[in-house]
């Protein structure tokens, strides 16, 4: 009996970790006035018929706080990479000299920073919703076990308390990550 409860708790924990990991990954691509190579993570180029991430076909360096330099290994692909970055609508225009691509990030205005913070908060709220969904699913599974007679009412109640503790801890982590990102964005 306890094995099933442990399995439900483990499943809930995994869902919470997945949601938190997704939140962290989403925050990596949000630019906070500084050049961050992760902003290019979602940009792919059709490289000989295969969609290829930029990081797999070029070196990306940060020579200055607000500039990325992309050195494409296959010089024939510089124009394609430049075009893909422009089409990705990252809020920055690529400049290429035929050898390297430079992305210069403009200084963020106060208004733009506030818009980005709204996006950060929305991602945090979406993560909380995913966490609540994991709780709902775990609670439903525990109730089903009780209905099937495989779990006593007391055992279900204590298991639900364990699920709630997992959720509470996850909510604290989500809020902390959101506050850190918000602070990073509002820093001038």
Q: Are 114 and 169 contained in the same domain? A: yes
Last residue of a domain, one of 104, 126, 149: 104
Q: Are 113 and 182 contained in the same domain? A: yes
Q: Is 0.75 topped by the overall pTM? A: no
Q: Are 22 and 113 contained in the same domain? A: yes
Tokens of 10: 């483990």
Tokens of 180: 């850190």
Q: Which domain holds residue 70?
A: 37-104
Which CATH number covers residue 177?
A: 1.10.132.20
Q: Are 113 and 170 contained in the same domain? A: yes
Tokens of 76: 């024939």
Strands 100-104 and 67-72: antiparallel
Q: Are 90 and 114 contained in the same domain? A: no
Last residue of a domain, one of 104, 137, 161: 104
| pLDDT one digit per residue (tens) for the chain, 188 residues | 578 889 999 999 999 999 999 999 888 877 666 777 888 888 888 888 888 888 888 888 888 878 889 998 988 888 888 888 888 877 778 888 888 899 888 777 888 888 889 999 999 999 999 999 999 999 999 999 989 888 888 999 999 999 999 999 999 999 999 999 998 888 76
Rounded CA gap, 104 and 65, in Å?
Answer: 9
Q: Are 83 and 121 contained in the same domain? A: no
Q: Are 20 and 51 contained in the same domain? A: no
Q: Are 90 and 151 contained in the same domain? A: no
In eight-state DSSP terms, residue 37 is G
Burial tier of 172 (Cβ tally within 10 Å: 0-12, 13-18, 19+) = exposed
Q: Number of folded domains in the chain?
A: 2
Rounded CA gap, 27 and 177, in Å?
Answer: 9
Q: Are 95 and 44 contained in the same domain? A: yes
Which CATH number covers residue 98?
A: 3.30.1360.40
Say what the alpha-carbon torsion angle 10, 12, 15, 20 is, to the nearest 10 degrees: -100
Q: Are 78 and 94 contained in the same domain? A: yes
Q: Are 99 and 45 contained in the same domain? A: yes
Q: SS3 for 74?
A: coil
Last residue of a domain, one of 82, 104, 126: 104
Strands 100-104 and 94-96: antiparallel
Q: Are 16 and 49 contained in the same domain? A: no
């Amino acid at each position: 009996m306890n094995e099933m409860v442990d399995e439900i708790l483990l499943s809930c924990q995994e869902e919470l970790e997945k949601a938190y990991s997704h939140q962290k990954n989403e925050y990596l691509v949000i630019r906070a006035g500084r050049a961050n190579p992760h902003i290019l993570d979602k940009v792919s180029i059709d490289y000989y018929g295969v969609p290829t991430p930029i990081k797999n076909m070029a070196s990306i360096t940060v020579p200055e706080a607000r500039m990325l330099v992309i050195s494409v290994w296959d010089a024939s692909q510089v124009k394609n990479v430049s075009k893909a970055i422009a089409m990705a609508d990252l809020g920055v225009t690529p400049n290429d000299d035929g050898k390297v691509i430079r992305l210069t990030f403009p200084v963020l205005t106060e208004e733009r920073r506030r818009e980005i913070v709204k996006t950060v908060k929305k991602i945090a709220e979406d993560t909380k919703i995913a966490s609540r969904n994991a709780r709902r699913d775990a609670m439903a599974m525990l109730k089903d076990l009780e209905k099937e007679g495989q779990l006593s009412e007391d055992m279900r109640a204590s298991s639900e308390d364990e699920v709630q503790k997992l959720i509470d801890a996850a909510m604290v982590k989500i809020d902390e990550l959101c506050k850190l990102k918000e602070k990073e964005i509002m820093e001038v």
